[in-house]
């Protein structure tokens, strides 16, 4: 009784997180590509509640940051210039869910730049980049996992259900794919793409490649379950009553694989997010100025960034709730008596 409610909480939290990222343009105060060249590597602004006159503000306000004279990355607060937080301001245009154009942002600093999480080497707002960058990274995870699972499910089912030499051939191919060093395959793929492919298209192609390479593991798991389900008494009985292969698969065998597929999905999504991040980290993912968590973290490859600007680690922090959510989901789906729990979970949803 307890577990399903935890499952619901987990799914609700994940859903909220995803919805937030889908509407990133609204929560992000700025265009993620907009450069503010007067404020490179600005640290996160500190919220203040008590102003210079000593009066208390319920809503926090900020002081403008200005470069220290003669320095290129050292800032000090200008106490003479307070920035109140304004809500529902009009700013850079963006698209909600990729379709609905809007200009309204949850908050902003008016004329003065407001960098809650600091800025990067071009003076781009990190909060905006992290939230919009999440769209790319998570989309890669979801599309990649979806594709991989569909391929894996088809191949695993065919292999497990038909058996014989077909099974042998398919499983040997799967082993081949397991042994392939996919990162080199991706390097090769990326090198073949022409220069002029728009960044997002190139990126989707790459995601498809990861998916096409990653099907082997889910396929083997599905095959195992199909293989055992095929020999169950009720399946044999159904076959005895003259059920067709299609009916058997649809009605008796595929439902058996549901728990494995769902668990795999919960494991694969973060895995593919990591794959995207790895590629972008190596400069093979989405190019500048489109943000993704991976290409944001790529700046940490430079020693000076690593030791000087701690806020550049924040994209790594941003992915923690997502990964945690997916992993908790996976363990909830996997734990205990699978079928009954799955039924309950599905029933509650």
Partner 1 sequence: MSERTAGWVLKGTALAAILGCVLSSRSTASFPAQANPKEEFLRVSGDIGRPGGRIVIALRSEPKTLNPLISPDATSREVISTMQADLVHINRATQLTEPALAKSWKVSTDGLQYTLTLRQGLKFSDGQPVDVEDVLFTFRVYLDEAVHATQRDLLIVDGKPIVVRKVDAQTVTVALAKPYGVGERLFDGLAILPRHLLETAYKEGKLAQAGGLGTAPNQWAGLGPFRLKEYVAGQRLVLERNPYYWKTDERGNRLPYLDEIVFLFVPSADAQVVRFQSGETDIISRLGAENFSVLSRQAGNYRMVDAGPGLEYNFLFFNLNELGEKAPAEMARKQNWFRSEKFRQAVSLAIDREAIVRLVYQGRGAALWGPVTPGNPRWVNAAIAHPARSLDKSRQLLAEVGFKLTSGESGEPRLVDADGKSVEFSIVTSASNADRAKMATLIQDDLKQLGMRVQVVPLELRSLIDRVMQTKEYDACVLGIASYDADPNPELNVWLSSGGMHLWNPSEKRPATDWEAEIDRLMEQQLTATNVAQRKKFYDRVQEILAERQPMIFLASPDILVGAKKSIGNFHPAVLEPYVLWNVEQLYQRNGAENARR
Name the CA radius of gyration of the chain, rounded. 25
User: Closest Cα partner for 41 from 318, 311, 290?
Assistant: 311
Q: Give the nearer residue to partner 1 in terms of CB position, either 118 or 152.
A: 118
CB of 51 to partner 1, least distance (A): 32
Q: Give the nearer residue to partner 1 in terms of CB position, either 196 or 340.
A: 196
Contacts with partner 1 by CB under 8 A lie at 33, 35, 37, 40, 72-73, 93, 95, 101, 121-123, 191, 195-196, 198-199, 283, 287-289, 301-305, 307-308
Q: Please list, in sequence order, all residues whose beta carbon lies within 8 angstroms of the beta carbon of residue 17, skipping any fewer than 6 positions away.
A: 321, 322, 325
CB of 183 to partner 1, least distance (A): 15
CB of 181 to partner 1, least distance (A): 18
Neighbours of 14 (CB within 10 A): 19
**What whole-number distance in Å separates Cα of residue 259 and Cα of residue 245?**
21
**What whole-number distance in Å separates Cα of residue 153 and Cα of residue 56?**
60
Q: Give the nearer residue to partner 1 in terms of CB position, either 8 or 34.
A: 34
CB of 198 to partner 1, least distance (A): 8
**Buried/exposed code over 132-142 (b: 16+ C-beta within 10 A; e: otherwise):** bbbbbbbbbbb
Q: Give the nearer residue to partner 1 in terms of CB position, either 256 or 276.
A: 276
Q: Give the nearer residue to partner 1 in terms of CB position, either 122 or 182.
A: 122
The number of CA neighbours under 13 Å toward the Cβ of 130 is 21
Q: In which element (H, E) is residue 88 found?
A: strand 86-96
CB of 208 to partner 1, least distance (A): 20
Report the chain's terminal Cα–Cα distance, integer Å: 14
Is residue 144 within 8 A of residue 211, CB to CB? The reply is yes
CB of 214 to partner 1, least distance (A): 25
Q: Give the nearer residue to partner 1 in terms of CB position, either 43 or 289.
A: 289
Neighbours of 90 (CB within 10 A): 10
CB of 301 to partner 1, least distance (A): 8
∠ Cα 287 141 99 (to 5°): 70
Q: Give the nearer residue to partner 1 in terms of CB position, either 169 or 193.
A: 193
Q: Give the nearer residue to partner 1 in terms of CB position, either 80 or 307.
A: 307
Q: Give the nearer residue to partner 1 in terms of CB position, either 94 or 293.
A: 94
CB of 260 to partner 1, least distance (A): 40
Q: Write out the two tokens for 57.
A: 């503000």
Torsion from C-alpha of 189, 195, 196, 202, nearest 10 degrees: 30
CB of 186 to partner 1, least distance (A): 14
Q: What are phi and psi of 2, to 5 degrees?
A: -70, -45
**Buried/exposed code over 171-187 (b: 16+ C-beta within 10 A; e: otherwise):** beebeebeeeebeeebe
């Amino acid at each position: 009784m307890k577990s399903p409610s935890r499952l619901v909480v987990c799914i609700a939290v994940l859903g909220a997180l995803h919805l937030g990222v889908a509407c990133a343009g609204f929560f992000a105060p700025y265009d993620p590509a907009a450069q503010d060249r007067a404020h490179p590597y600005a640290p996160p602004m500190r919220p203040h509640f008590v102003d210079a006159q000593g009066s208390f503000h319920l809503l926090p306000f900020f002081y403008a940051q200005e470069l220290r004279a003669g320095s290129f990355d050292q800032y000090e607060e200008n106490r003479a210039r307070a920035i109140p937080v304004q809500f529902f301001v009009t700013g850079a245009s963006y698209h909600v869910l990729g379709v609905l154009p809007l200009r309204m942002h949850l908050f902003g600093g008016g004329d003065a730049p407001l960098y809650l999480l600091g800025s990067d080497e071009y003076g781009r707002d990190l909060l905006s980049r992290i939230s919009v960058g999440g769209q790319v990274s998570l989309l890669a995870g979801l599309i990649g996992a979806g594709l991989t699972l569909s391929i894996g499910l088809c191949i695993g089912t065919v292999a497990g259900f038909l058996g014989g030499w077909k099974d042998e051939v398919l499983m040997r191919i799967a082993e081949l794919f397991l042994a392939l060093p996919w990162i080199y395959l991706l390097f090769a793929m990326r090198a073949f793409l022409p220069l002029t492919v728009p960044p997002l298209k190139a990126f989707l192609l790459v995601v498809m490649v990861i998916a096409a390479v990653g099907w082997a593991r889910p396929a083997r798991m599905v095959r195992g379950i199909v293989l055992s389900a095929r020999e169950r008494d009720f399946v044999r009985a159904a076959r005895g009553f003259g059920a067709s292969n299609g009916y058997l698969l649809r009605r008796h065998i595929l439902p058996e694989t549901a728990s494995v597929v769902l668990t795999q999905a919960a494991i694969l999504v973060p895995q593919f997010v990591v794959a995207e991040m790895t590629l972008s980290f190596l400069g093979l993912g989405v190019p500048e100025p489109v943000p993704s968590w991976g290409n944001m973290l790529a700046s940490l490859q430079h020693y000076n960034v690593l030791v000087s600007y701690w806020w550049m680690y924040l994209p790594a922090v941003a992915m923690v709730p997502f990964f945690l959510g997916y992993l908790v989901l996976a363990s909830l789906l996997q734990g205990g008596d699978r079928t009954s729990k799955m039924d309950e979970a599905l029933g509650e949803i």
